[in-house]
Amino acid sequence: MATDTELTAAWRDLPDHDTLEASIRDMLGQAKRLGADAAEASLSATRALSVSVRDGKREALDFEGDRTASITVYRAADGGQASGSASTTDLSSAGLTRALESACTIARFTEADPYAGLADADLMAGDWPDMGLDNPWPITAAEAETMAGEIEQAALGHDDRISQTEGATVATQDAISAYANSHGFIGIEQASRHVLSCSAIARGADGGMQREIAFSQARRAQDLEAGATIGRLASQRAVDRLGARSATTGTHSVVFTPRVARGLWGHLLGAISGGPLYRDASFLKDAVDTQIAHPALTITQHPHRRHGLASAGFDGDGVATRDRTLVADGILRGYVLSAYSARRLGLPPTGNAGGVFNIDVAPGADTFEALVADMGTGLVVTELMGQGVNLVNGDYSRGAAGWWVENGQLAYPVENATIAGNLADMYRALTLGSDVDRTAALATPSVRIEGMTVAG
């Protein structure tokens, strides 16, 4: 059996820029020789270390090293372009050639699509700034185990009601990826991501149990929260949920804390994304330049943010990324589109193939305490369950847990509640807090929404 040291040494090997560039250029050259009119390819490699500790003992030690390549070829055909795609985990020359041949075979038997093809050459990214994404953490498995143990001990020592944990984890990942197409574009990015997490279990005097989690993630290890802070936060959240009751059924104000408010904006971003729009499956189709939310709402994108968790110089089509205002004063200013979805909609691409990049929701003036005080009676949501969101019509229904509010004060913890409304109405009935949480790629404050249906 390999030792931790041997595993660590093997894990640290990633292909360099020159190797990736040579391989991807060779794939595109072969595609042309095999008769493809155009092609695009991507290569990626990752290495990851994850160590979990539970009950003071190492529960899991994982070294991962993934290698993936994909190739898409296009050939002109009546009615558009026929395409074929294939992928492989074998990055040897022979493995890449087999994937390419498979893609070419598929393209010969695929019906033409008038919207298929590369993004226009003049949209390809040129220079982009160094965003400081590559920050390897030279931590050994033994060091990670020690750190995870300290996180768990901080959780267990925070309160006598913490009976156990579901483990504490220290994880780090480095990745390198390349994208190129037959326009001559090639982009290579290297990035790191590090995570600390803990899940604590509290037991009340009545025998009831509650579980909660806390985590921190960052591009640089020095930007992570202290491990002891993560452990204590997980424990405090679990203790706070002890003695949870049912919510009072009725129409109430609901406050979403930042970690659950991200879901609200995720639904909005989904509704303005290309796929749902061209499938007529979004309640925000044809809504550009119309008022879709309260005038307090402004949402912006910042893809070149230094050390950003979702920073990138180019999107999945090679199109240049850029700062954008998606919603300004409640007015929708644009969609998020890939080259394919843009063609389907008759619009220009927005540099969002693969998603959005570092989203900021502008804060309001009220503190979290003010949001709660002004609601009188209602629900503060700290956890959401279920997937009851329909982007076609905006109907929203989720399971929820959190705190019941009476007379503007947190009264008691709540579980097994259901909150419901319609996103179109919810976005128009919101008040934003000032407590922006920037620990994720989507930075948001708390959000209060008036007139939601709450069921206990």
Query: Cβ–Cβ contacts within 10 Å for residue 323, how many?
Result: 12
| pLDDT(11) > 70 | no
> What dihedral angle (degrees, nearest 10) is formed by the CA atoms of 282, 312, 323, 320?
-90
User: pLDDT tens digits, residue range 127-166?
Assistant: 999 999 999 999 999 999 999 999 999 999 999 999 899 9
Given pLDDT bands bounded at 50, 70 and 90, which one contains residue 6?
very low
Given pLDDT bands bounded at 50, 70 and 90, which one contains residue 4?
low
Beta partners for 388? 397
> What dihedral angle (degrees, nearest 10) is formed by the CA atoms of 338, 341, 347, 351?
-10
State the Rg of the chain over Cα: 25
User: pLDDT tens digits, residue range 102-136?
Assistant: 999 999 999 999 999 999 999 999 999 999 999 99
In the chain, where the domains are located: 4-238, 244-456
pTM for this structure? 0.94
User: pLDDT tens digits, residue range 382-428?
Assistant: 999 988 899 999 999 999 999 999 999 999 999 999 999 999 999 99
CATH number of 4-238: 3.30.2290.10
**What per-residue confidence (pLDDT) applies to 205?**
87
107 near 75, Cβ under 8 Å?
yes
Burial 441-451, CB ≥16 within 10 A → b, else e: bbbbbbbbbbe
3-state secondary structure of 376: coil
| pLDDT(5) > 80 | no
User: pLDDT tens digits, residue range 59-68?
Assistant: 999 999 889 9
Q: What are phi and psi of 322, to 5 degrees?
A: -155, 160
Pairing mode, strands 250-256 and 378-389: parallel
Q: What are phi and psi of 325, to 5 degrees?
A: -105, 115
User: pLDDT tens digits, residue range 39-54?
Assistant: 999 999 999 999 999 9
Please state, for a pLDDT cut of 70, what percent of the chain lies above it.
97
**What per-residue confidence (pLDDT) applies to 368?**
97
Q: Which of 124, 111, 212, 119 is nearest to 162 (CA)?
A: 212
Identity of the amino acid at 123: L
User: pLDDT tens digits, residue range 334-388?
Assistant: 999 999 999 999 999 999 999 999 999 999 999 999 999 999 999 999 999 988 8
Identity of the amino acid at 353: A
96 near 23, Cβ under 8 Å?
yes
Residue 205, C-beta contacts closer than 8 angstroms, at least 6 positions apart:
none
